[in-house]
Amino acid sequence: MPSGRRTRRKLHFSKIYSFRCGRAAFRQDHSQIGGPGFSRVVYCNEPDCFEAGIRNYASNYVQSTKYTLATFFPKSLFEQFRRVANFYFLVTGILAFTKLAPYSAVSAILPLIIVVGATMVKEGIEDWQRKQQDIEVNNRKVRVHRGRGVFEPTEWKNLRVGDIVKVEKDEFFPADLLLLSSSYDDAVCYVETMNLDGETNLKLKQSPEVTSNLHDDGDFGNFKAVVKCEDPNANLYAFVGSMEFEQQQYPLSPQQLLLRDSKLRNTDYVYGAVIFTGQDTKVRQNSTDPPSKRSRIERKMDKIIYLLFFILFLLAFIGSIIFGLITKDDLKNGTMKRWYLRPDDSTNFFDPKNAPLAAIYHFLTAIMLFSYFIPISLYVSIEIVKVLQSMFINRDIHMYYEEADKPAHARTSNLNEELGQVDTILSDKTGTLTCNSMEFIKCSIGGTAYGRGVTEVEKAIGRMKGSPLAIDKTNGFGQLISPNPTTKGFNFSDERIMNGNWVSEVHSDVIQRFFRVLALCHTAIPEVDEDIGKVSYEAESPDEAAFVIAAREIGFEFYQRTQTSITLRELDTKTGKRVERVYQLLSVIEFNSARKRMSVIVRDDEGKLLLLCKGADSIISERLSKNGREFEVETVEHVNEYADAGLRTLLLAYRELEEGEYEKFSEKFNIAKSSVSADRDAMMDEATEMIERDLILLGATAVEDKLQNGVPDCIDKLAQAGIKIWVLTGDKMETAINIGFACSLLRQGMKQIIIGLDAPDIQALEKAGDKSSISKASKESVIRQINEGISLLSSSLGSSDAFALIIDGKSLAYALEDDVKNMFLKLALGCASVICCRSSPKQKALVTRLVKSGTGKTTLAIGDGANDVGMLQEADIGIGISGVEGMQVPF
């Protein structure tokens, strides 16, 4: 672990502003804390104060069951009597207690009780299993501050908004927490969000600087702060607010929010303040109540029962009319036609003087008598078959996942038969189609392409063409390159730069800078195995992990990180020996989806100030200096080739800085970071723009997101079976397209219909900030693009052209509006493949609902995180790959 951890500096609270509830000093107007629109106020370390109590925030108890003890019987009975046969037998059972019944009431009601009871028992057992999971989650323990610097173990369900908690390594966060400090001096921590978004890579979080020195339990004895932030919402990646501490306001961002169900990794402990609890947490905001799903066969059985019931009703009705006519004539002309019924001394059942009433009684009797026409035992037989099928699924050795030691598990047996009737599959990408495990496979440095590996896309193309190189390639000397890498994250092979051979290359200085950028421009943390001296890495993204591993394998080993320095072990070209070089880390300008780049500013051992940058090709290219474009043409050509091979690419560049230039940037950047105004992001962008310019291009990286085993063949077979496949992912468009090619969802020659909102006029409106104009123009643009796509499909009728629809999250928001969604569905159904990028969890659910209702055919959804729960519940069948809290889906 990095050195310099856990210096124990005590806070002096003599100047801490008193936030005690009830004091005059506290009764101030907090309307300005966090800015306009922020209405949630959290009194940190004072969950019992009066102001906190009147806000009546949700408890931290969560429930994912379909029933409760109070609602089980009414809701379950309602579910059972939704079946028309059960309702019919309920009616006949009630009539059996009257004198009309041709048999005893017991013989009518007992089969119904057995059938309904058996099904209710099955439902109860399945829901009890969900309840057990809820009990286990709600009774987990976490250490909570109880005054005087004492932290006591408390069950999750007892947490309140404002509590200060201490979460230790490898524990889950019990609620949405504001990170206050961690075991690291710079108050960073690493979080695994697999239960939220399916990604196994770690996310870096960092506390506000003002609370970063709260390192001990005792430091919280007198800690008080007020947080004002946005109301609970479903956006996993957004959080806006501010914290008032020691009479100062400090801005808050998603960087400080730890979400419930994510796990603390590579950090001994963190302290956090509870901001959202229970149903208010973001993971629960993205979930919905477990739906009541019925299979198509069951609904079809109801229709058959309706038909049988109609025939039964018709027989009883015709028979009753005839019976009434005959009864009316029983005493006609003084004779008794049916003397054995004694019509002269009859009750209402056979009274000739009241023949219509006798006919009605006869009709009710016939309804009961013909009840055996309705096969009530069929439901029991089907329920037994379903239970047996689910048992087979749970014990299917071919569906056992050995790596995670998890078998398949049918959470409910109601939908087994639906699996054979699927028309459309809607799937998440990361962790579902792919392993979310990147491998460094190729690179372009100084205009020269390196790396002889073969990608999944190249293999797929080779198989289609019948090429023998679809499986393996040689390294140019007749030696076969193994398709299976020996080092995780590194599938690169090129004798020209491996084993130190790069020093003999023409542009060896460029190669050196290239791999230094890979080894320095990141936020990864090294872990050294003391026994063997092997260095491994924990990174925010699998891309970063692949980069630092590649640098290490080439000879630029990232070895140690502190708050202010990064240490590398690299080859000294003068002496030919490995040396240790320490780079002073001055600034980290983080990557985000808007910037599409990341930079670090370091000072090397020669005193030079260097800005090292990596980012998307479109972003880096426009920031190159005139003298920094020497290899641009060749690099762009290689990047295009890598994209065609299904690889994710980034450009690498650098520049030297002047001292004065850096100082001016640093001052402006720090002011922007500490700002609480609405223009904070714009101020930060302005600061970074002044430094991330005049770059010198070094080259490009190409990494491959490995697919799950058998994905391309599986998708190909599903397509041959006529099953449509939609991919709904939170990834950016470029990544989704690459994976689409790799898994055979997109194929060479397929025409792409891309719908996005990156047109210059839309971007100009976004910079202007007029929300109404942006919304209007964006919607018009989306409608226009959809109509153009429909026209393109219409003009291609009769041709063999295949189309793929690719749409981003912003456009999807407008495409799903009521007056546009039918047009969007028409376009999508005309395409062979559909990819929805940057989709939010609710958008995934809405798309699934649209496909399900618009086609009227069976839909199946597959996901691996809590952000997929809505999609799984909306589909006819939901398959969850990981057993996360809240993923109580029907299958």
Active site residues: 428
Does the annotation list 731 as a binding residue?
yes
Does the annotation list 430 as a binding residue?
yes
Does the annotation list 735 as a binding residue?
no
Beta pairing partners, 179:
272
Ramachandran sector of residue 252 (left: φ over 0; alpha: ψ -120 to 50; beta: rest): beta
Does the annotation list 428 as a binding residue?
yes
Q: Are 568 and 559 in contact (CB under 8 A)?
A: yes
Residue 425: closest CA among 865, 857, 115: 857
Which residue shows structure tokens 């007029």? Answer: 770
Report how far apart, in Å, the C-alpha atoms of 740 and of each of 640, 653, 658, 861 are: 16, 28, 44, 17
Residue 891: closest CA among 476, 422, 431, 536: 422
| Nearest-angstrom CA–CA distance, 141 and 177 | 15
Does the annotation list 604 as a binding residue?
no
Does the annotation list 867 as a binding residue?
yes
Does the annotation list 626 as a binding residue?
no
Query: What is residue 397's DSSP assignment?
Result: G
**Beta-carbon-side half-sphere exposure of residue 243 (alpha carbons within 13 Å):** 25
Does the annotation list 338 as a binding residue?
no
| Nearest-angstrom CA–CA distance, 597 and 592 | 7
Beta pairing partners, 535:
528
**Buried-state track 733-768, b at ≥16 Cβ within 10 A, e below 16:** bbbbbbbbbbbbbbbeebeebbbbbeeeebeebbee
Token digits for 724?
């449509």
Residue 803 neighbours by CB distance under 10 Å: 19
Amino acid at 143: R
Token digits for 313?
């009703």
* End-to-end Cα separation, the chain, in angstroms: 42
- CB burial class (10 A; 0-12, 13-18, 19+) of residue 667? exposed
Q: Are 866 and 195 in contact (CB under 8 A)?
A: yes
| Nearest-angstrom CA–CA distance, 158 and 141 | 10
> Collapsing DSSP states into helix, strand and coil, what is residue 764?
helix
Residue 555: closest CA among 519, 528, 525, 603: 519
Amino acid at 302: D
| Nearest-angstrom CA–CA distance, 617 and 700 | 8
| Nearest-angstrom CA–CA distance, 76 and 54 | 37
Distant-in-sequence, close-in-space partners of 565: CB < 8 Å, separation ≥ 6 = 582, 583, 584, 585
Residue 643: closest CA among 596, 699, 702: 702
Residue 618 neighbours by CB distance under 10 Å: 11
Residue 565: closest CA among 582, 550, 542, 544: 582
Amino acid at 558: F
Does the annotation list 75 as a binding residue?
no
Does the annotation list 844 as a binding residue?
yes
Helix ranges restricted to H, 139-247: 194-197
**Buried-state track 83-100, b at ≥16 Cβ within 10 A, e below 16:** bbbbebbbebbebbeeeb
- CB burial class (10 A; 0-12, 13-18, 19+) of residue 806? buried
| Nearest-angstrom CA–CA distance, 177 and 182 | 13
Does the annotation list 429 as a binding residue?
yes
Residue 845: closest CA among 811, 869, 824: 869
Report how far apart, in Å, the C-alpha atoms of 859 and of each of 47, 426, 717, 730 are: 45, 7, 17, 20
Residue ranges at the known binding site: 428-430, 544, 591, 614, 648, 729-731, 838, 844, 864, 867-868
Residue ranges at the known binding site for Mg(2+): 428, 430, 864, 868
Residue ranges at the known binding site for ATP: 428-430, 544, 591, 614, 648, 729-731, 838, 844, 867-868
